Every structure is written in C-alpha cells, then in structure tokens.
Amino acid sequence: MTSQPTADDVPRLGDMPMLGLGTWENEDPEQCADSVATALEMGYRHVDTAKAYHNEDAVGDGIAAADVPREDVFVATKVWAGDLAYDDVIESAERSADRLGVETIDLLYIHWPSHAYEPEETLPAFDELVDRGVIDRVGVSNFTPDQIERARDVLESPLYANQVEMHPYLEQAELRAFAAETDLNLVAYSPLGRGTVLDDETLAEIAEKHDASVAQVSLAWLREKGVTAIPKATSEAHIRDNFESVGLDLDAEDVATIDDIDRTDRQIHPDWAPDSW
C-alpha cells in the first residue's frame, strides 16, 4: 500500500471527502482542538461534529489553528433531536456556526428522527437555513429508507447524506442498496465498530496480506462500498493510521471475504432508535 498520502489522494463524493475525522466523545477542549488541527495539517479535509458532542467550539479552534484554507474544509455538524421544532432548528444551526467559527456549515444533519422530530415542522427550517446561506447541504442521520422518502417529500432542498453506523459487523446492505438507487450519500460513523472489529481474525489476515492495519482494512472496505467513513481518533498515531487507509486498495477477493463475515454487532442502539432499526 502507498504510505504518506496527501489531501489530493482522498476520493470525494461531490464536494465531500470520503474520509473524515470523527469527534464524538472528544470533549477535552485542548485535545479536541489539537486533534482537529493535526488531522487537517496531515491531509484530512472533512471534520464531523454535533451539538450533542459539546465540542463545536474546540473543533472550530482546531480548524482556525490549522494552516488550511477554510474553503478547503468540509465541516459537518448535527442538530440534536430535542431541537427539531422550526425555531429551535434555526437557533441551533446559527449557534453551531458561531461556535465553529464558520459563516456556512457545509452539511447539517438531523441527529436522530426522534424526540421533537416532525417532518412538516423540522424540514422547512432546514430549507430556510439553505436559503439564508447558514448551511449548504441537508443531511439526516439514523434514518430508515421510509423516513428518508418522507423527508424528501417535504424538503425543497436536495437530501445529501444519511449518516449511520456501518462497519464489517454491520454491513447495512439494505441502506446501501437504497442509497445507490436514490442518489444518496452514506456516511459511516463508528466505522471500526467502536474497536470490536480490530480483533477480527479475517480482517487481520487481510491486513497482513497488504502490510496494513486492521483499521485501514475496515476503512478501505467502506470506501470500496462507496461509503464515507468518519473514524474518531485523538492521538496523532491513530489519526495517521486511519488517514493512510486511503492508500490501501483491496482486491475483489478481499472485499468478498469481508462481506462473508458472519457476524452482526450493532454498537449504537438507544431507546429512541427507529422501530425498524
């Protein structure tokens, strides 16, 4: 595999780089800002956060500290499920932009289709935010195909992405097929299964074959599926290891072997998840 890739080596889906830095649970302000700046200096151009992560200020500090033009960074955040009434969506997005230190959020997600989520109340606020230039793109997270179709019926703006848990132990075949049929981008959170896939013997054998890490194999598999991955990492070593996955090309046999892993292990399953989750 190729080592030391650059920002230009990261494939894109439109304007969205297919590898980003996840920041869930990165709540120490100094550490969070440093990890974001480190990732951007290394070549990452996609940073994912959320109001509920309580770190948008620190993410913004990291973006500002990096020697990377703002227009080169794809910034994504999320409106929490309790803030999905019309006025609350507007206020939440404006405050997120302020905390992040950006004029426009590149992609704003609905974090969960629960709590205060009502399509006719919530989605027009996202259209308004696009019209005002507060956000560029509308996204959803943890939505089922039926919920996506309902959202599209209400939205005037294009629906850009659905962010869901996905990794070799949760292959999301139905969602991937639906996304491919309906021109929707999939973004994978917890792409390493919160660490569960790192001890997998099948993945380890493929990693040894390519002189790569198991994390790199999992991320490369997602890329082969056309899915953007946003692994979280805080140390420079892990940030770099994940980034070097863009230089790993799996062959068809590798992909088929991973597809055949007979295990389903969802890591994120709150009480408010959709019934058909």
The verdict on residue 100 lying in a domain is: yes
User: What is residue 141's predicted lDDT score, i.e. its pLDDT?
Assistant: 98
Cβ 166 vs Cβ 188: under 8 Å = yes
Question: Could you tell me if 75 and 99 are in contact, meaning their C-beta atoms sit under 8 angstroms apart?
Answer: no
pLDDT at 3: 56
pLDDT of residue 262: 85
- Cβ atoms of 228 and 13 within 8 Å: the answer is yes
Give residue 276's pLDDT. Answer: 65
User: Considering the domain boundaries, does residue 36 fall inside one?
Assistant: yes
Domain-embedded: residue 262: no
Q: Is residue 204 part of a domain?
A: no
Q: Can you give the pLDDT at residue 277?
A: 64
Rounded-to-integer distance, Cα 238 and Cα 227, Å = 20
Is 233 a member of any domain?
Answer: yes
Report the distance separating Cα 221 and Cα 106, nearest Å: 26
Q: What are the residue numbers of the active site?
A: 53
Structural domain including 131 reads 13-194+226-248
For the chain, where are the alpha helices, taking DSSP H only? 29-42, 56-65, 86-100, 119-132, 145-154, 173-182, 201-210, 214-224, 236-243, 252-259
**36 C-beta neighbours (distance < 10 Å), count:** 29
Could you state, in chain order, the average pLDDT of each consecutive group of 10 residues for the chain (277 residues)? 81 96 95 98 98 98 97 98 97 98 98 96 98 98 97 98 98 95 97 96 98 98 98 97 97 97 89 75
Query: What total of structural domains would you count in the chain?
Result: 1
pLDDT at residue 269 in the model: 86
Which residues is 105 bridged to in the sheet?
Answer: 135
Parallel, antiparallel, or unpaired: how do β-strands 12-13 and 16-17 relate? antiparallel
Rounded to an integer, what distance in angstroms lies between the CA atom of residue 97 and that of residue 26? Answer: 19
Is the separation of the CB atoms in 203 and 258 below 8 Å? yes
**Is residue 271 assigned to a domain?**
no
Length of the chain: 277
Any domain includes 89: yes
d(CA 233, CA 32): 10
Residues in Cβ contact with 100 at an 8 Å cutoff, skipping those fewer than 6 apart: 49, 56, 57, 59, 60, 63, 75, 77
Q: For residue 176, give the CATH number of its domain.
A: 3.20.20.100
> Could you give the dihedral angle defined by the CA atoms of residues 220, 226, 231 and 237, in that order, rounded to the nearest 10 degrees?
30
Do residues 229 and 219 make contact, with C-beta atoms less than 8 angstroms apart? yes
Answer for the pair 100, 60: CB distance below 8 angstroms, yes or no. Answer: yes
Query: Residue 164 domain-assigned?
Result: yes
DSSP string, 124-193: HHHHHHHHHTSBS-EEEES--HHHHHHHHHH-SSPEEEEEEE-BTTB--HHHHHHHHHHT-EEEEESTTG
